[in-house]
A and B are shown apart, each in its own frame.
Chain A
Amino acid sequence: MTGMGKAETSPAGANGSAKIRLRGVEKHFFVRGRRVDALATLDLDIRSGEFFCIVGPSGCGKTTLLRILAGLVGRSAGTIEVVRDSDEATTARGTATARPLNSMVFQEASIFPWMNVRDNVAFGLKARGFDRRDRYAIADPYIRNVGLGGFEDALPHQLSGGMKQRVSIARALANDPELLLMDEPFAALDEQTKLLLQAELLRIWEESRKTVLYVTHSIDEAIVLADRILVMSARPGRVKDIIDVASVFGRPRQVDAVKSSPHYGEVFGRVWGLLRDEVTAAREEEDRRNAKD
Protein backbone atom coordinates (compact mmCIF):
# COMPACT_ATOMS: atom_id res chain seq x y z
CA MET A 1 0.00 0.00 0.00
CA THR A 2 1.37 3.37 -0.88
CA GLY A 3 0.14 6.77 0.07
CA MET A 4 0.21 9.98 -1.86
CA GLY A 5 3.77 10.63 -0.79
CA LYS A 6 4.93 7.98 -3.21
CA ALA A 7 2.62 8.95 -6.05
CA GLU A 8 4.49 9.40 -9.26
CA THR A 9 4.89 12.91 -10.48
CA SER A 10 5.85 14.17 -13.87
CA PRO A 11 6.47 17.63 -15.24
CA ALA A 12 3.67 19.51 -16.89
CA GLY A 13 3.05 19.41 -20.56
CA ALA A 14 3.74 15.74 -21.03
CA ASN A 15 0.22 14.66 -20.22
CA GLY A 16 -1.96 17.27 -21.84
CA SER A 17 -4.38 18.91 -19.43
CA ALA A 18 -4.81 16.08 -16.92
CA LYS A 19 -3.70 17.12 -13.47
CA ILE A 20 -4.45 13.95 -11.59
CA ARG A 21 -4.74 10.57 -13.16
CA LEU A 22 -6.23 7.72 -11.14
CA ARG A 23 -6.02 4.25 -12.60
CA GLY A 24 -7.59 1.22 -10.99
CA VAL A 25 -7.55 2.76 -7.53
CA GLU A 26 -9.09 0.40 -4.99
CA LYS A 27 -9.50 0.44 -1.27
CA HIS A 28 -10.65 -2.38 0.92
CA PHE A 29 -10.31 -3.00 4.60
CA PHE A 30 -11.24 -5.75 7.01
CA VAL A 31 -13.90 -5.53 9.68
CA ARG A 32 -13.92 -8.52 12.04
CA GLY A 33 -12.25 -10.67 9.41
CA ARG A 34 -14.75 -9.70 6.74
CA ARG A 35 -13.48 -7.85 3.72
CA VAL A 36 -15.27 -4.58 3.02
CA ASP A 37 -14.73 -2.88 -0.31
CA ALA A 38 -14.76 0.88 0.10
CA LEU A 39 -13.64 1.79 -3.39
CA ALA A 40 -13.99 -0.49 -6.40
CA THR A 41 -11.61 0.09 -9.30
CA LEU A 42 -11.70 3.83 -9.84
CA ASP A 43 -10.44 5.42 -13.05
CA LEU A 44 -10.53 9.17 -13.10
CA ASP A 45 -8.85 12.12 -14.80
CA ILE A 46 -9.07 15.52 -13.21
CA ARG A 47 -8.08 18.44 -15.34
CA SER A 48 -5.65 21.14 -14.39
CA GLY A 49 -7.33 24.18 -12.87
CA GLU A 50 -10.63 22.39 -12.53
CA PHE A 51 -13.09 22.66 -9.66
CA PHE A 52 -14.10 19.04 -9.31
CA CYS A 53 -16.91 18.05 -6.95
CA ILE A 54 -17.66 14.57 -5.71
CA VAL A 55 -21.12 13.64 -4.48
CA GLY A 56 -22.40 10.26 -3.43
CA PRO A 57 -24.48 8.50 -0.78
CA SER A 58 -22.96 8.38 2.69
CA GLY A 59 -20.44 5.61 3.07
CA CYS A 60 -19.67 5.48 -0.65
CA GLY A 61 -16.00 6.16 -0.05
CA LYS A 62 -15.79 9.76 -1.23
CA THR A 63 -14.00 10.88 1.91
CA THR A 64 -11.79 7.77 1.71
CA LEU A 65 -10.78 8.77 -1.80
CA LEU A 66 -9.84 12.22 -0.57
CA ARG A 67 -7.88 10.79 2.35
CA ILE A 68 -5.98 8.51 -0.02
CA LEU A 69 -5.08 11.52 -2.15
CA ALA A 70 -4.06 13.42 1.00
CA GLY A 71 -1.71 10.62 2.00
CA LEU A 72 -3.60 9.94 5.22
CA VAL A 73 -4.54 6.36 4.31
CA GLY A 74 -2.99 3.96 1.87
CA ARG A 75 -4.69 2.54 -1.19
CA SER A 76 -5.07 -1.17 -1.79
CA ALA A 77 -4.37 -1.11 -5.50
CA GLY A 78 -3.96 1.20 -8.48
CA THR A 79 -1.84 4.19 -9.40
CA ILE A 80 -2.22 7.88 -8.75
CA GLU A 81 -0.30 10.27 -10.90
CA VAL A 82 -0.14 13.97 -10.15
CA VAL A 83 1.23 16.25 -12.82
CA ARG A 84 3.23 19.11 -11.39
CA ASP A 85 2.77 22.57 -12.84
CA SER A 86 6.52 22.98 -13.26
CA ASP A 87 9.49 20.73 -12.67
CA GLU A 88 11.15 23.36 -10.49
CA ALA A 89 9.43 21.94 -7.45
CA THR A 90 10.35 18.34 -8.09
CA THR A 91 14.04 19.13 -8.15
CA ALA A 92 13.84 21.25 -5.03
CA ARG A 93 12.02 18.61 -2.99
CA GLY A 94 12.55 18.90 0.73
CA THR A 95 13.68 22.51 0.61
CA ALA A 96 11.62 25.54 1.50
CA THR A 97 10.69 26.15 -2.10
CA ALA A 98 9.17 22.75 -2.74
CA ARG A 99 5.47 23.05 -3.41
CA PRO A 100 3.47 20.36 -1.70
CA LEU A 101 1.39 18.03 -3.83
CA ASN A 102 -1.75 18.72 -1.87
CA SER A 103 -3.20 20.45 1.17
CA MET A 104 -6.45 19.50 2.77
CA VAL A 105 -9.30 21.50 4.25
CA PHE A 106 -11.00 19.22 6.74
CA GLN A 107 -14.68 18.93 7.56
CA GLU A 108 -14.52 19.42 11.30
CA ALA A 109 -12.67 22.09 13.23
CA SER A 110 -9.08 21.24 12.45
CA ILE A 111 -7.17 24.41 13.19
CA PHE A 112 -4.93 24.13 16.24
CA PRO A 113 -6.59 25.75 19.28
CA TRP A 114 -3.17 26.53 20.77
CA MET A 115 -1.97 28.63 17.84
CA ASN A 116 -3.17 32.06 16.85
CA VAL A 117 -4.60 32.60 13.39
CA ARG A 118 -1.25 33.63 11.93
CA ASP A 119 0.62 30.56 13.18
CA ASN A 120 -2.19 28.29 12.07
CA VAL A 121 -2.11 29.68 8.55
CA ALA A 122 1.69 29.51 8.47
CA PHE A 123 1.82 25.93 9.76
CA GLY A 124 2.47 24.29 6.39
CA LEU A 125 5.09 26.91 5.58
CA LYS A 126 6.86 26.20 8.86
CA ALA A 127 6.85 22.50 8.03
CA ARG A 128 8.46 23.37 4.71
CA GLY A 129 11.25 25.22 6.46
CA PHE A 130 10.44 28.88 5.89
CA ASP A 131 11.76 31.04 8.71
CA ARG A 132 9.36 33.04 10.81
CA ARG A 133 9.59 36.33 8.92
CA ASP A 134 9.14 34.72 5.52
CA ARG A 135 6.22 32.58 6.50
CA TYR A 136 4.37 35.44 8.17
CA ALA A 137 4.97 37.57 5.10
CA ILE A 138 3.42 34.84 2.97
CA ALA A 139 0.57 34.02 5.37
CA ASP A 140 -0.70 37.54 6.07
CA PRO A 141 -2.13 38.28 2.60
CA TYR A 142 -3.99 34.95 2.69
CA ILE A 143 -5.44 35.84 6.08
CA ARG A 144 -6.68 39.15 4.68
CA ASN A 145 -7.95 37.44 1.54
CA VAL A 146 -10.26 35.17 3.53
CA GLY A 147 -11.55 38.25 5.36
CA LEU A 148 -9.75 37.80 8.66
CA GLY A 149 -7.52 40.86 8.53
CA GLY A 150 -7.19 42.17 12.09
CA PHE A 151 -7.63 38.71 13.60
CA GLU A 152 -4.04 37.55 13.01
CA ASP A 153 -3.29 37.29 16.72
CA ALA A 154 -6.66 35.89 17.81
CA LEU A 155 -6.88 32.37 19.16
CA PRO A 156 -9.40 29.98 17.54
CA HIS A 157 -11.69 29.84 20.57
CA GLN A 158 -12.34 33.54 20.01
CA LEU A 159 -13.61 32.89 16.48
CA SER A 160 -16.95 31.68 15.17
CA GLY A 161 -17.30 28.39 13.31
CA GLY A 162 -17.31 30.12 9.94
CA MET A 163 -14.18 32.10 10.78
CA LYS A 164 -12.41 28.90 11.83
CA GLN A 165 -13.11 27.36 8.44
CA ARG A 166 -11.79 30.51 6.80
CA VAL A 167 -8.56 29.98 8.72
CA SER A 168 -8.49 26.37 7.56
CA ILE A 169 -8.92 27.47 3.94
CA ALA A 170 -6.22 30.12 4.30
CA ARG A 171 -3.88 27.52 5.82
CA ALA A 172 -4.30 25.23 2.83
CA LEU A 173 -3.98 28.06 0.29
CA ALA A 174 -0.93 29.63 1.93
CA ASN A 175 0.83 26.32 1.45
CA ASP A 176 0.38 26.81 -2.31
CA PRO A 177 -0.36 23.16 -3.08
CA GLU A 178 -0.61 21.68 -6.56
CA LEU A 179 -3.97 20.36 -5.51
CA LEU A 180 -6.50 21.62 -2.98
CA LEU A 181 -8.50 18.89 -1.26
CA MET A 182 -11.69 19.92 0.51
CA ASP A 183 -13.75 17.50 2.55
CA GLU A 184 -17.20 19.00 3.16
CA PRO A 185 -15.59 22.12 4.66
CA PHE A 186 -18.90 23.91 5.20
CA ALA A 187 -21.02 20.95 6.33
CA ALA A 188 -21.01 21.95 9.99
CA LEU A 189 -21.93 25.59 9.35
CA ASP A 190 -25.32 27.22 9.41
CA GLU A 191 -27.07 27.91 6.10
CA GLN A 192 -26.39 31.66 5.88
CA THR A 193 -22.71 31.32 6.75
CA LYS A 194 -22.45 28.51 4.23
CA LEU A 195 -23.88 30.70 1.44
CA LEU A 196 -21.44 33.47 2.27
CA LEU A 197 -18.46 31.16 2.35
CA GLN A 198 -19.42 29.50 -0.93
CA ALA A 199 -19.40 32.93 -2.58
CA GLU A 200 -16.07 33.68 -0.91
CA LEU A 201 -14.58 30.41 -2.05
CA LEU A 202 -15.68 31.09 -5.63
CA ARG A 203 -14.02 34.51 -5.53
CA ILE A 204 -10.78 33.18 -4.05
CA TRP A 205 -10.68 30.24 -6.43
CA GLU A 206 -11.26 32.57 -9.36
CA GLU A 207 -8.03 34.38 -8.42
CA SER A 208 -5.86 31.29 -8.16
CA ARG A 209 -7.62 28.77 -10.41
CA LYS A 210 -6.15 25.94 -8.42
CA THR A 211 -7.19 22.39 -9.08
CA VAL A 212 -9.75 21.62 -6.38
CA LEU A 213 -11.21 18.29 -5.34
CA TYR A 214 -14.28 19.02 -3.27
CA VAL A 215 -16.32 16.37 -1.50
CA THR A 216 -19.85 17.28 -0.48
CA HIS A 217 -23.16 15.61 0.21
CA SER A 218 -25.02 18.70 -0.96
CA ILE A 219 -26.10 18.61 -4.62
CA ASP A 220 -26.84 22.31 -4.37
CA GLU A 221 -23.31 23.10 -3.22
CA ALA A 222 -21.79 20.94 -5.96
CA ILE A 223 -23.75 22.75 -8.68
CA VAL A 224 -22.84 26.18 -7.37
CA LEU A 225 -19.12 25.41 -7.14
CA ALA A 226 -18.19 22.72 -9.64
CA ASP A 227 -16.93 22.58 -13.17
CA ARG A 228 -17.72 18.88 -13.16
CA ILE A 229 -19.58 16.73 -10.67
CA LEU A 230 -18.65 13.12 -10.09
CA VAL A 231 -21.61 11.08 -8.89
CA MET A 232 -20.37 8.02 -7.02
CA SER A 233 -22.26 4.78 -6.60
CA ALA A 234 -23.18 3.22 -3.27
CA ARG A 235 -20.44 1.15 -1.63
CA PRO A 236 -18.17 -0.05 -3.11
CA GLY A 237 -17.74 3.40 -4.64
CA ARG A 238 -17.23 3.65 -8.36
CA VAL A 239 -17.84 6.29 -11.00
CA LYS A 240 -21.56 6.38 -11.72
CA ASP A 241 -21.45 9.40 -13.99
CA ILE A 242 -19.73 12.72 -14.44
CA ILE A 243 -21.85 15.77 -15.10
CA ASP A 244 -20.44 18.80 -16.85
CA VAL A 245 -21.64 21.92 -15.05
CA ALA A 246 -19.13 24.30 -16.65
CA SER A 247 -20.94 24.07 -19.99
CA VAL A 248 -24.17 25.22 -18.31
CA PHE A 249 -22.85 27.83 -15.92
CA GLY A 250 -19.81 29.81 -17.05
CA ARG A 251 -17.17 31.61 -15.01
CA PRO A 252 -16.91 33.82 -13.10
CA ARG A 253 -19.96 32.64 -11.29
CA GLN A 254 -22.36 34.26 -8.83
CA VAL A 255 -24.05 32.02 -6.28
CA ASP A 256 -27.44 33.77 -6.59
CA ALA A 257 -27.26 33.85 -10.38
CA VAL A 258 -26.73 30.09 -10.52
CA LYS A 259 -29.54 29.39 -8.09
CA SER A 260 -32.06 31.60 -9.83
CA SER A 261 -31.13 30.34 -13.29
CA PRO A 262 -33.77 28.24 -15.11
CA HIS A 263 -31.06 25.64 -15.81
CA TYR A 264 -30.44 25.11 -12.12
CA GLY A 265 -33.45 22.85 -11.62
CA GLU A 266 -32.52 20.88 -14.70
CA VAL A 267 -28.97 20.15 -13.50
CA PHE A 268 -30.26 19.42 -10.00
CA GLY A 269 -32.74 16.94 -11.47
CA ARG A 270 -30.03 15.16 -13.44
CA VAL A 271 -27.72 14.79 -10.44
CA TRP A 272 -30.50 13.73 -8.11
CA GLY A 273 -31.79 11.28 -10.73
CA LEU A 274 -28.40 9.58 -10.71
CA LEU A 275 -27.99 9.78 -6.99
CA ARG A 276 -31.46 8.65 -5.90
CA ASP A 277 -31.02 4.98 -6.81
CA GLU A 278 -27.63 4.93 -5.09
CA VAL A 279 -28.93 6.51 -1.93
CA THR A 280 -31.75 3.96 -1.86
CA ALA A 281 -29.28 1.15 -2.46
CA ALA A 282 -27.01 2.42 0.30
CA ARG A 283 -29.90 2.62 2.74
CA GLU A 284 -31.15 -0.85 1.89
CA GLU A 285 -27.69 -2.27 2.45
CA GLU A 286 -27.49 -0.52 5.78
CA ASP A 287 -30.88 -1.87 6.82
CA ARG A 288 -29.80 -5.36 5.80
CA ARG A 289 -26.65 -5.05 7.86
CA ASN A 290 -28.55 -3.79 10.89
CA ALA A 291 -31.04 -6.62 10.59
CA LYS A 292 -28.20 -9.16 10.52
CA ASP A 293 -26.53 -7.74 13.66
Chain B
Amino acid sequence: MPKTETPQPLPGQAATGSVSDAGGFGGRALTPSESSETVPWHRRRGFERALSVLSPILIIAIWELGARAGVIDIRFFPAPSRIFQSFLEMLRPTEDYPRGELLTHFGDSLGRIVIGFVLGAVPGIAIGLAMGLIGWVRALIQPLVDGTYPIPKIAILPLFIMLLGIGEESKYAIIAVAVIYQVLINTVAGVRNIDRIYLDVGKNFHASRLMMFLDVALPGALPVILTGLKLGMGVALLVIVSAEFVGAKSGIGYLIWSSWQVFQIEKMYVGLLLSATLGFGSAILLNYLEQKLVPWKPR
Protein backbone atom coordinates (compact mmCIF):
# COMPACT_ATOMS: atom_id res chain seq x y z
CA MET B 1 0.00 0.00 0.00
CA PRO B 2 2.69 2.59 0.74
CA LYS B 3 4.13 1.56 -2.61
CA THR B 4 2.44 4.43 -4.34
CA GLU B 5 3.63 7.04 -1.88
CA THR B 6 7.34 7.66 -1.98
CA PRO B 7 8.76 7.61 1.52
CA GLN B 8 11.54 10.06 2.18
CA PRO B 9 14.94 8.57 3.03
CA LEU B 10 15.45 6.88 6.37
CA PRO B 11 18.06 8.20 8.82
CA GLY B 12 21.07 6.49 7.31
CA GLN B 13 20.46 7.84 3.85
CA ALA B 14 19.26 11.25 4.92
CA ALA B 15 22.39 13.16 4.00
CA THR B 16 22.92 11.82 0.52
CA GLY B 17 22.03 14.30 -2.12
CA SER B 18 19.83 16.29 0.22
CA VAL B 19 19.24 19.85 -0.88
CA SER B 20 19.63 21.23 2.62
CA ASP B 21 23.30 20.32 2.46
CA ALA B 22 23.87 22.33 -0.67
CA GLY B 23 24.15 25.64 1.17
CA GLY B 24 27.82 25.14 1.94
CA PHE B 25 29.82 28.17 2.89
CA GLY B 26 27.93 30.62 0.79
CA GLY B 27 24.62 29.43 2.25
CA ARG B 28 23.28 29.44 -1.28
CA ALA B 29 21.80 26.36 -2.87
CA LEU B 30 22.24 25.83 -6.58
CA THR B 31 19.07 26.28 -8.54
CA PRO B 32 18.42 23.63 -11.20
CA SER B 33 19.59 25.91 -14.00
CA GLU B 34 22.95 26.43 -12.34
CA SER B 35 24.74 23.25 -13.27
CA SER B 36 28.52 23.41 -13.10
CA GLU B 37 28.58 23.71 -16.91
CA THR B 38 26.80 27.04 -17.13
CA VAL B 39 27.82 28.80 -13.89
CA PRO B 40 30.65 31.30 -14.42
CA TRP B 41 33.84 30.46 -12.52
CA HIS B 42 33.51 33.26 -9.99
CA ARG B 43 30.11 31.99 -8.89
CA ARG B 44 31.01 28.34 -8.44
CA ARG B 45 30.79 26.92 -4.96
CA GLY B 46 34.34 25.61 -4.92
CA PHE B 47 35.61 29.11 -5.59
CA GLU B 48 33.49 30.61 -2.81
CA ARG B 49 34.70 27.96 -0.42
CA ALA B 50 38.30 28.65 -1.32
CA LEU B 51 37.75 32.39 -0.71
CA SER B 52 36.35 31.68 2.74
CA VAL B 53 39.43 29.69 3.65
CA LEU B 54 41.83 32.14 2.05
CA SER B 55 40.62 35.39 3.60
CA PRO B 56 41.75 34.71 7.20
CA ILE B 57 45.05 33.27 5.97
CA LEU B 58 45.60 36.36 3.86
CA ILE B 59 44.94 38.72 6.78
CA ILE B 60 47.40 36.82 8.99
CA ALA B 61 50.01 36.84 6.24
CA ILE B 62 49.67 40.60 5.71
CA TRP B 63 49.84 41.14 9.47
CA GLU B 64 52.99 39.01 9.79
CA LEU B 65 54.75 40.69 6.85
CA GLY B 66 53.68 44.14 7.99
CA ALA B 67 54.99 43.53 11.48
CA ARG B 68 58.31 42.25 10.19
CA ALA B 69 58.71 45.10 7.73
CA GLY B 70 57.96 47.63 10.48
CA VAL B 71 54.84 48.94 8.78
CA ILE B 72 52.63 47.87 11.71
CA ASP B 73 53.34 49.01 15.28
CA ILE B 74 54.36 45.78 16.99
CA ARG B 75 53.75 47.23 20.44
CA PHE B 76 50.04 46.95 19.71
CA PHE B 77 50.05 44.29 17.02
CA PRO B 78 52.89 41.84 17.65
CA ALA B 79 53.54 39.48 14.74
CA PRO B 80 51.35 36.37 14.70
CA SER B 81 54.48 34.25 14.91
CA ARG B 82 55.41 36.01 18.18
CA ILE B 83 51.95 35.37 19.57
CA PHE B 84 52.22 31.72 18.59
CA GLN B 85 55.60 31.49 20.27
CA SER B 86 54.11 32.96 23.41
CA PHE B 87 51.28 30.43 23.11
CA LEU B 88 53.78 27.57 23.12
CA GLU B 89 55.69 29.03 26.04
CA MET B 90 52.53 29.27 28.08
CA LEU B 91 51.85 25.58 27.56
CA ARG B 92 54.95 24.71 29.62
CA PRO B 93 54.46 23.95 33.31
CA THR B 94 56.03 26.51 35.63
CA GLU B 95 56.32 26.90 39.37
CA ASP B 96 53.25 29.10 39.55
CA TYR B 97 51.27 27.02 37.08
CA PRO B 98 52.04 23.28 37.34
CA ARG B 99 49.57 22.56 34.51
CA GLY B 100 51.00 25.31 32.38
CA GLU B 101 49.71 28.88 32.39
CA LEU B 102 47.55 28.45 29.33
CA LEU B 103 45.70 25.33 30.39
CA THR B 104 45.20 26.68 33.90
CA HIS B 105 43.42 29.81 32.71
CA PHE B 106 41.51 28.00 30.01
CA GLY B 107 40.45 25.20 32.35
CA ASP B 108 39.38 27.56 35.11
CA SER B 109 37.19 29.60 32.77
CA LEU B 110 35.77 26.47 31.18
CA GLY B 111 34.88 24.99 34.57
CA ARG B 112 33.14 28.18 35.65
CA ILE B 113 31.17 28.33 32.42
CA VAL B 114 30.10 24.69 32.48
CA ILE B 115 28.93 24.80 36.09
CA GLY B 116 27.31 28.23 35.79
CA PHE B 117 25.66 27.29 32.50
CA VAL B 118 24.08 24.16 33.93
CA LEU B 119 22.99 26.03 37.07
CA GLY B 120 21.23 28.57 34.86
CA ALA B 121 19.91 26.40 32.03
CA VAL B 122 18.17 23.68 34.06
CA PRO B 123 15.98 25.95 36.20
CA GLY B 124 15.54 28.23 33.18
CA ILE B 125 13.96 25.40 31.19
CA ALA B 126 11.88 24.13 34.12
CA ILE B 127 10.49 27.54 35.08
CA GLY B 128 10.02 28.47 31.42
CA LEU B 129 7.96 25.33 30.77
CA ALA B 130 5.77 26.01 33.79
CA MET B 131 5.31 29.63 32.72
CA GLY B 132 4.47 28.61 29.18
CA LEU B 133 1.87 26.04 30.19
CA ILE B 134 0.31 27.43 33.36
CA GLY B 135 -1.32 30.83 33.31
CA TRP B 136 -0.98 31.73 36.99
CA VAL B 137 2.71 30.80 37.08
CA ARG B 138 3.28 33.11 34.14
CA ALA B 139 1.29 35.91 35.81
CA LEU B 140 3.37 35.46 38.95
CA ILE B 141 6.85 35.41 37.40
CA GLN B 142 6.62 37.41 34.19
CA PRO B 143 6.75 40.88 35.85
CA LEU B 144 9.81 39.85 37.86
CA VAL B 145 11.55 38.75 34.67
CA ASP B 146 10.53 41.84 32.73
CA GLY B 147 11.56 44.13 35.56
CA THR B 148 15.04 42.70 36.12
CA TYR B 149 15.96 41.62 32.59
CA PRO B 150 17.20 45.06 31.46
CA ILE B 151 19.86 45.18 34.21
CA PRO B 152 23.23 44.39 32.63
CA LYS B 153 24.15 41.12 34.29
CA ILE B 154 27.72 42.17 35.04
CA ALA B 155 26.31 45.03 37.13
CA ILE B 156 25.19 42.60 39.83
CA LEU B 157 28.67 41.12 40.23
CA PRO B 158 29.47 43.33 43.25
CA LEU B 159 26.29 42.11 44.91
CA PHE B 160 27.25 38.49 44.31
CA ILE B 161 30.80 39.07 45.54
CA MET B 162 29.30 40.60 48.66
CA LEU B 163 26.95 37.66 49.17
CA LEU B 164 29.13 34.78 48.05
CA GLY B 165 32.66 36.07 48.39
CA ILE B 166 35.42 36.52 45.86
CA GLY B 167 35.71 32.75 45.23
CA GLU B 168 34.20 30.52 42.57
CA GLU B 169 30.62 30.74 43.87
CA SER B 170 30.14 34.32 42.77
CA LYS B 171 31.35 33.41 39.24
CA TYR B 172 28.94 30.48 39.00
CA ALA B 173 26.14 32.70 40.21
CA ILE B 174 26.76 35.53 37.75
CA ILE B 175 26.91 33.10 34.81
CA ALA B 176 23.83 31.25 35.98
CA VAL B 177 21.90 34.51 36.17
CA ALA B 178 23.07 35.56 32.71
CA VAL B 179 22.05 32.18 31.25
CA ILE B 180 18.75 31.77 33.04
CA TYR B 181 17.18 34.85 31.46
CA GLN B 182 17.96 33.82 27.89
CA VAL B 183 16.87 30.23 28.45
CA LEU B 184 13.73 31.12 30.38
CA ILE B 185 12.51 33.76 27.97
CA ASN B 186 13.08 31.51 24.97
CA THR B 187 11.51 28.49 26.66
CA VAL B 188 8.34 30.47 27.38
CA ALA B 189 8.27 31.69 23.79
CA GLY B 190 8.86 28.14 22.56
CA VAL B 191 6.00 26.71 24.57
CA ARG B 192 3.66 29.57 23.68
CA ASN B 193 4.40 29.06 20.00
CA ILE B 194 3.83 25.32 19.92
CA ASP B 195 1.29 24.55 17.24
CA ARG B 196 -2.11 24.53 18.98
CA ILE B 197 -2.89 21.25 17.30
CA TYR B 198 -0.34 19.39 19.46
CA LEU B 199 -1.96 20.70 22.64
CA ASP B 200 -5.36 19.67 21.23
CA VAL B 201 -4.04 16.17 20.60
CA GLY B 202 -2.71 16.00 24.16
CA LYS B 203 -6.08 17.11 25.48
CA ASN B 204 -8.13 14.80 23.27
CA PHE B 205 -5.98 11.83 24.30
CA HIS B 206 -6.24 12.82 27.97
CA ALA B 207 -2.53 13.29 28.51
CA SER B 208 -1.68 13.94 32.14
CA ARG B 209 -0.05 17.21 33.15
CA LEU B 210 3.31 15.40 33.39
CA MET B 211 2.92 14.04 29.85
CA MET B 212 1.93 17.49 28.61
CA PHE B 213 5.21 18.74 30.09
CA LEU B 214 7.58 15.99 29.02
CA ASP B 215 6.03 14.61 25.82
CA VAL B 216 4.45 17.71 24.30
CA ALA B 217 5.67 21.03 25.71
CA LEU B 218 9.35 20.20 26.18
CA PRO B 219 10.03 18.59 22.79
CA GLY B 220 7.71 21.04 21.06
CA ALA B 221 9.60 23.98 22.51
CA LEU B 222 13.01 22.36 22.08
CA PRO B 223 14.02 24.17 18.86
CA VAL B 224 13.44 27.55 20.54
CA ILE B 225 14.97 26.36 23.83
CA LEU B 226 18.15 25.53 21.92
CA THR B 227 18.18 29.04 20.51
CA GLY B 228 17.96 30.22 24.12
CA LEU B 229 20.86 27.98 25.11
CA LYS B 230 22.99 29.38 22.29
CA LEU B 231 22.16 32.97 23.25
CA GLY B 232 22.77 32.08 26.90
CA MET B 233 26.19 30.68 26.05
CA GLY B 234 27.06 33.90 24.22
CA VAL B 235 26.13 35.98 27.25
CA ALA B 236 27.94 33.56 29.56
CA LEU B 237 31.22 34.06 27.65
CA LEU B 238 30.76 37.82 27.81
CA VAL B 239 30.03 37.80 31.51
CA ILE B 240 32.77 35.40 32.59
CA VAL B 241 35.51 37.35 30.85
CA SER B 242 34.31 40.63 32.37
CA ALA B 243 33.92 39.05 35.79
CA GLU B 244 37.46 37.67 35.61
CA PHE B 245 38.80 41.11 34.69
CA VAL B 246 38.04 42.39 38.16
CA GLY B 247 37.25 39.60 40.54
CA ALA B 248 39.52 36.65 39.82
CA LYS B 249 43.06 35.39 40.10
CA SER B 250 42.78 33.02 37.15
CA GLY B 251 40.83 32.51 33.96
CA ILE B 252 40.90 33.94 30.47
CA GLY B 253 39.62 37.34 31.58
CA TYR B 254 42.30 37.51 34.24
CA LEU B 255 44.97 36.53 31.70
CA ILE B 256 43.89 39.28 29.29
CA TRP B 257 43.63 41.95 31.97
CA SER B 258 46.85 41.14 33.83
CA SER B 259 48.84 40.82 30.60
CA TRP B 260 47.65 44.24 29.55
CA GLN B 261 48.57 45.74 32.89
CA VAL B 262 52.15 44.49 32.69
CA PHE B 263 52.17 45.20 28.94
CA GLN B 264 52.76 41.62 27.84
CA ILE B 265 50.75 42.14 24.70
CA GLU B 266 51.54 38.72 23.18
CA LYS B 267 49.94 37.05 26.19
CA MET B 268 46.93 39.29 25.88
CA TYR B 269 46.48 38.10 22.30
CA VAL B 270 46.78 34.51 23.47
CA GLY B 271 43.94 35.29 25.88
CA LEU B 272 41.85 36.63 23.00
CA LEU B 273 42.61 33.50 21.05
CA LEU B 274 41.49 31.35 23.98
CA SER B 275 38.20 33.20 24.35
CA ALA B 276 37.58 32.80 20.62
CA THR B 277 38.31 29.09 20.95
CA LEU B 278 35.87 28.83 23.82
CA GLY B 279 33.17 30.58 21.81
CA PHE B 280 33.81 28.55 18.71
CA GLY B 281 33.90 25.26 20.60
CA SER B 282 30.69 25.93 22.47
CA ALA B 283 28.93 26.89 19.24
CA ILE B 284 30.01 23.62 17.61
CA LEU B 285 28.91 21.66 20.66
CA LEU B 286 25.48 23.31 20.79
CA ASN B 287 24.94 22.85 17.06
CA TYR B 288 25.79 19.18 17.46
CA LEU B 289 23.40 18.97 20.39
CA GLU B 290 20.70 20.55 18.25
CA GLN B 291 21.20 18.01 15.48
CA LYS B 292 20.90 15.17 17.99
CA LEU B 293 17.93 16.58 19.91
CA VAL B 294 15.92 18.18 17.10
CA PRO B 295 16.46 15.92 14.11
CA TRP B 296 13.10 16.99 12.65
CA LYS B 297 14.04 20.66 12.43
CA PRO B 298 14.39 21.68 8.77
CA ARG B 299 17.98 22.64 8.04
Contact = CB atoms under 8 A, between A and B. Distances in A.
Contacts of B205: 100, 103, 123-124, 127, 171, 175
Contacts of B7: 151, 154, 158-160, 163
Q: How large is the interface on B (under 10, 10 to 19, 20 to 34, 35 or more residues)?
A: 20 to 34
Nearest to B218: A114
Interface string B1-44: 11011111111001000000000000000000000000000000
A160 B6 contact: yes
B179 interface: no
B220 interface: yes
A139 B216 CA distance: 19
A200 interface: yes
A24 interface: no
A72 B216 CA distance: 16
B296 interface: yes
Given A155-B295, A200-B1, A128 B219 contact: no
Interface stretch (B109-117, B132-140, B194-202, B236-244): B194-202
Contacts of B203: 71-72
Nearest to B197: A110
A72 B204 contact: yes
A104 interface: yes
Interface string B183-207: 0000000000000011011011111
A112 B295 contact: no
B111 to A, nearest CB: 32
Contacts of B200: 70, 72, 104, 106, 110
B145 to A, nearest CB: 27
Contact of B206 (A106, A112, A127, A154): A127
A115 B294 CA distance: 11
A70 B204 contact: yes
Nearest to A124: B205
B164 interface: no
A147 B204 contact: no
A196 B220 contact: no
A46 to B, nearest CB: 18
B225 interface: no
A71 B219 contact: no
B222 A110 contact: no
A114 B8 contact: no
B2 A112 contact: no
Contacts of A156: 296
Contacts of B206: 100, 124, 127-128
A289 B234 CA distance: 51
B197 to A, nearest CB: 5
A200 B298 CA distance: 31
* Centre residue among B9, B200, B219, B298 by max chain A CB count within 10 A: B200
Contacts of A147: 1-2
B4 A114 contact: no
A127 B5 contact: no
B296 A157 contact: yes
B94 interface: no
A255 interface: no
A115 B296 CA distance: 10
A147 B2 CA distance: 6
* Centre residue among B7, B220, B294 by max chain A CB count within 10 A: B7
Interface string A192-232: 11001000100000000000000000000000000000000
Contact of B10 (A108, A109, A114, A158): A158
A124 B206 CA distance: 7
Interface string A126-163: 11100000000000000000011001001111111011
Contacts of B296: 113-114, 155-157
Nearest to B198: A112
Given A106-B197, A110-B198, A114-B220, A163 B204 contact: no
B94 to A, nearest CB: 51
> Nearest 10 A-B pairs (CB), nearest first?
A147-B1, A114-B219, A113-B296, A124-B205, A160-B5, A157-B296, A127-B207, A158-B8, A110-B197, A104-B204
26 contacts: A71-B204, A100-B206, A102-B204, A109-B197, A112-B216, A112-B219, A113-B296, A114-B219, A114-B296, A123-B215, A124-B206, A127-B205, A127-B206, A127-B211, A154-B7, A154-B10, A155-B295, A156-B296, A157-B296, A158-B11, A159-B8, A160-B5, A160-B7, A162-B5, A163-B5, A175-B205
